[in-house]
């Protein structure tokens, strides 16, 4: 079950962190994985690491916020006679800049755009670039990584991030309706607190998580592997929450 042999998966921002965990699980399930990252060296190292474990992995550096780069790279794959069966929209946070946490009233207009570019436009660009090919071939899986901040209001200074995540998740619901008849699904995995956030932020929150631990990138990989599989063909427009039970709705 959930075998991904003969499938090609593009995972954005998978040079490290959650994305690398997703790429690792999909590769172990048999997929050929394309490791996207804006950091070329990081993408190459991650792909090399997975290949050294016997997987099929290639670096695919580009910036998801630049539609022309995204289109050129995806068209390049199609031109080589290859295809993308699975797209995981994983790039998020504040892109390749440190995560800014500030109350909305204190944010300057110059600080808004980056969150929307990375967390919403990045998803729009990559989804648009792969969708026609998936529909023409009659199979495709789009999975967008979101956050609890996109499901609920929080007083921790992440309003623009949360707004962009909610927008990307809602795009998946609309796309799910439009492409369902073509055998393509579009889903969301909404994450709770992961084990790569600073200890100062996470330590006090761990006792409030029913499973008493932070999320591991592999936890996300297992959830994505299900949604990416043939077997999940009747699951679409859905948000799968992976948060250790922190908010049970």
| β-pair type (32-35, 8-11) | parallel
Q: Does residue 15 interact with ligand NAD by CB under 6 A? A: yes
Q: Does residue 57 interact with ligand NAD by CB under 6 A? A: no
Q: Which stretch binds ligand NAD (CB under 6 A): 27-35, 124-132, 177-185, 192-200?
A: 192-200
The residue among 234, 201, 222 whose CA lies nearest residue 24 is 222
Catalytic residue among 2, 121, 161, 222: 161
Q: Which stretch binds ligand NAD (CB under 6 A): 57-65, 134-142, 171-179, 230-238?
A: 57-65
Q: Does residue 13 interact with ligand NAD by CB under 6 A? A: yes
Q: Is 58 left (phi over 0), alpha (psi -120 to 50) or beta?
A: beta
Q: Which stretch binds ligand NAD (CB under 6 A): 51-59, 76-84, 88-96, 176-184?
A: 88-96
Number of residues that bind ligand NAD (CB under 6 A): 29
Q: Which of 92, 140, 162, 221 binds ligand NAD (CB under 6 A)?
A: 92
Residue 140: which H helix or E strand, with range?
A: strand 140-147
Q: Does residue 244 interact with ligand NAD by CB under 6 A? A: no
Binding string, 25-44, against ligand NAD, x = CB under 6 A?
Answer: -----------xxxx--x--
Per DSSP, helices labelled H in 117-235 are 122-137, 159-179, 199-202, 217-228
Residue 222 designated active-site: no
Q: Which of 197, 206, 218, 242 binds ligand NAD (CB under 6 A)?
A: 197
Per DSSP, helices labelled H in the chain are 17-28, 40-52, 67-79, 113-116, 122-137, 159-179, 199-202, 217-228
Specify the residue, 210 or 233, whose C-beta has the smaller distance to ligand NAD.
Answer: 210
Q: Which of 130, 145, 169, 241 binds ligand NAD (CB under 6 A)?
A: 145
155 burial class (0-12, 13-18, 19+ CB within 10 angstroms)?
Answer: exposed
Q: Does residue 63 interact with ligand NAD by CB under 6 A? A: yes
Q: In the beta sheet, which residues pair with residue 32?
A: 8, 56
The contacts of residue 13 (CB under 8 Å, 6+ apart) are 19, 36, 37, 38, 64, 90, 91, 92
Residues annotated catalytic, as ranges: 161
Give the residues lining the site for ligand NAD (CB under 6 A). 12-13, 15-19, 36-39, 42, 63-65, 90-93, 95-96, 118, 145, 147, 191, 193-194, 196-197
């Amino acid at each position: 079950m959930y075998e991904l042999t003969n499938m090609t998966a593009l995972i954005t921002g998978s040079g490290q962190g959650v994305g690398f965990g997703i790429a690792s699980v999909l590769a172990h399930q048999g997929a050929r994985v394309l490791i996207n990252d804006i950091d070329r060296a990081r993408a190459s190292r991650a792909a090399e690491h997975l290949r050294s474990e016997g997987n099929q992995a290639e670096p695919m550096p580009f910036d998801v916020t630049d539609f022309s780069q995204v289109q050129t790279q995806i068209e390049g794959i199609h031109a080589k006679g290859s295809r993308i069966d699975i797209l995981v929209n994983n790039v998020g946070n504040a892109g390749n800049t440190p995560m800014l946490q500030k109350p909305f009233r204190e944010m300057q207009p110059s600080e808004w755009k980056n969150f929307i570019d990375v967390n919403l436009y990045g998803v729009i660009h990559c989804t648009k670039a792969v969708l026609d090919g998936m529909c023409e071939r009659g199979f495709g899986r789009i999975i967008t990584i979101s956050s609890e901040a996109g499901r609920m209001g929080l007083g921790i200074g992440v309003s623009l991030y949360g707004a962009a995540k909610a927008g990307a998740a809602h795009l998946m619901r609309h796309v799910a309706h439009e492409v369902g008849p073509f055998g393509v699904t579009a889903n969301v995995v909404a994450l709770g607190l992961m084990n790569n956030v600073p200890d100062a932020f996470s330590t006090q929150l761990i006792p409030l998580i029913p499973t008493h631990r932070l999320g591991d990138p592999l936890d996300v990989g297992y959830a994505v592997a299900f949604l990416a599989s043939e077997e999940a063909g009747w699951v679409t427009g859905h948000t799968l929450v992976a948060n250790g039970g922190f908010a049970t709705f």
